[in-house]
Chain A
């Protein structure tokens, strides 16, 4: 069994898991809850094995490096982070409906990585600039942050949907969602978590840049966009802490913030030129 097969299977498991969570949400099919969780855990394990296998294969090829070096590998890791983070949230909050809003992101990322003709899933050797221990630290911190923002975008959407619940139909689709207060609290906490990791990602990137080029900050488009993203979430936190913003506004910021994340992660590589060009491969 090689890594690409394992990761291919993972994509299908996530599709299946997305469908079960959706079913739970849309048809209020509570009984499949355990199945959804089990399937997702199996997916996460397969996914982990796939990433581990790919790591091993690169060593067998004599070009050993962590599988975090190009667009394909980062999408795979992005998806992995979302699933692991989601499973933790499910465990902590004992709420499975969030899965219907989080797992689709993980599936989409995997599907895009495997199906898009732009990205090759071949293992390629590291160019000299990427040969550093900071590679793992930098990509890891960034993507934990990105994954958190993806999940918070999911709960933000969930909030906006729940807002249409007038409370008059106790058995409706919307009534099965957690209360507005709970969703708001979850969204806020995930943003806090993501903000720390994003800060860590920017910092690890700066330290790496300084050890490779002698400049910790050069206003490269990727750096600049990560800072813009940081500003967006920093504004949200200030608005919440000092003016008590919450609810609908924070839900929208979670969505807008995630769009900025997607642009930082993906858009910059293709629309703007800069130092991070290896991310586009």
Chain B
């Protein structure tokens, strides 16, 4: 294949363009870390003045990483990657698949490392011995007779020459994943009060409602603290309700989300309410009911003939500890007034029975919701990149030729090798082989 070397093609194959992309992306990114992103227009006017803010607006600086020009540079970078890989790949392909047994002797004579030997042994015997020695040092030689002698060739890991293209490909795979995510994914959040459920979430940026196709319910949210008062754990008990059925229950914490039908629900924040869950159980009948009680509001449980309310309250401290003063009447005798100490249960004795009280602060859990079908391509791309980098940096394509021919009454041997990387390491391997040949008693080699 002979390609046209026009200037357009050359522009896209050049490393200069790659360096230009690296440079502009880096400079733009620096600007993006200094100028706060995604703030309201008023913020920029206040901070930078009206004229600068207008320039920012025109150039999409407030949302720079999603601006047309930033995306364009990324696009240019991708085209550069693709074209320069296409441009160089045929040469590399040739190097990997070439017939090395066809290598001319005069090329071997220019290689480093190389060494010459001579022996009085017949050529057939020498070929056999050399072949054995090569096999004994981990090389798998093939051979071919030509007009003047026999050429043996062995190579190791020729495919490592593709390493750098694996890295380039990995970047494109990651970009593809990002594009898939942009077009087929959606991200948002929802605040869910305990014991309530929703069939949607709010999309980031637009606060548009996105239907989930199922319901998600928060059964409970709990917040625990370290002794220092620092938060230890945010935990939400979630239930998925699909077509009226409870299909999945999971307790999620930060770093351990819930997955269902392509959506992932992450614990991201919470909100505390003014009211408290108060659960009353009639120990005689076993009847039990939970109320959302607001301080100062009287509540009734008609069937049990109960009236109660929170008459006083000690607000939660930084460990979340609170106290509730409960006023309670079951219509028989004097009403009871007592304290509920946080979530500890309290048993209340009445003339006509015993009631158990429990309370809990009411919370809403803040869930981040994400659907991103592009994540797997991105992960595969990342894996490819690491693999490609290791191959490209640390593995080398090693080649070894041994040319054996007759000259007068002697058999001559030319050993030559080449490696595309780590020449020092290759020379050590080469010397080990040479030593083995020299120590071969049947060969009886002499230098020269």
Contact = CB atoms under 8 A, between A and B. Distances in A.
Nearest to A268: B33
A131 B33 contact: no
A196 B393 contact: yes
Interface residues of A, number: 43
B232 A214 contact: no
A239 to B, nearest CB: 7
A207 B33 contact: no
Interface in A203-236: 203, 206-207, 210-217, 219, 221, 224-225, 227-228, 231-232, 234-235
B254 interface: yes
Given A128-B233, A196-B390, A215-B370, A206 B382 contact: yes
A272 B389 CA distance: 31
A134 B255 CA distance: 9
Given A125-B230, A214-B369, A224-B33, A195 B389 contact: yes
A128 B30 contact: no
Contacts of B394: 192
A192 B19 CA distance: 18
Interface in A134-169: 134
Contact of A272 (B34, B164, B231, B386): B34
Contacts of A134: 255
Given A199-B386, A234-B22, A216 B254 contact: no
B372 interface: yes
Interface in A241-281: 241-243, 268, 272
A196 B230 contact: no
Contacts of B254: 128-129, 131, 212
B158 interface: no
Given A196-B393, A206-B382, A225-B33, A235 B19 contact: yes
Which DSSP category, helix, strand, loop or mixed, fits chain B's interface? helix
B268 interface: yes
A63 interface: yes
Interface string A115-128: 00000000011011
Interface in A182-196: 192-193, 195-196
Nearest to B14: A242
A64 to B, nearest CB: 13
Interface residues of B, number: 46
Interface in B241-271: 253-255, 257, 264, 266-268
B26 A125 contact: no
Of the listed residues B15, B254, B394, the one surrounded by the most CB atoms of chain A closer than 10 A to its CB is B254
Contacts of A195: 389, 393
Contact of A203 (B231, B233, B253, B385): B385
B385 A211 contact: no
A8 interface: no
Of the listed residues B230, B233, B255, B264, the one surrounded by the most CB atoms of chain A closer than 10 A to its CB is B255
B141 interface: no
Contacts of B22: 231-232, 234-235, 238
B379 interface: yes
B389 A196 contact: yes
Contacts of B23: 231, 235
Contact of B226 (A125, A132, A200, A203): A125
Of the listed residues A128, A206, A215, the one surrounded by the most CB atoms of chain B closer than 10 A to its CB is A128
B85 to A, nearest CB: 13
Nearest to A208: B255
Interface in B18-61: 18-19, 22-23, 25-26, 29-30, 32-34, 37
B375 interface: yes
A227 B29 contact: yes
B378 interface: yes
Interface in A17-39: none
B386 A200 contact: yes
Nearest to A228: B26
B187 interface: yes
Nearest to B390: A196
B228 A125 contact: yes
B234 to A, nearest CB: 6
B248 to A, nearest CB: 18
Of the listed residues B231, B372, B382, the one surrounded by the most CB atoms of chain A closer than 10 A to its CB is B382
B428 to A, nearest CB: 13
Interface string B101-117: 00000000000000000
Contacts of B389: 195-196, 199
Contacts of B29: 219, 224-225, 227-228
Interface string B181-214: 0000001000000000000000000000000000
Contacts of B382: 203, 206-207
Contacts of B386: 196, 199-200, 203
A238 B19 contact: yes
A272 B35 CA distance: 10
A235 B23 CA distance: 8
21 contacts: A124-B228, A128-B231, A128-B253, A131-B253, A196-B390, A196-B393, A207-B382, A211-B255, A211-B257, A213-B268, A214-B187, A215-B187, A217-B178, A219-B37, A225-B33, A231-B22, A234-B22, A235-B19, A238-B15, A239-B15, A268-B33
Given A125-B230, A213-B368, 13 more contacts: A124-B230, A127-B231, A128-B254, A131-B254, A199-B389, A206-B378, A214-B266, A214-B370, A217-B178, A231-B25, A232-B26, A235-B23, A243-B15
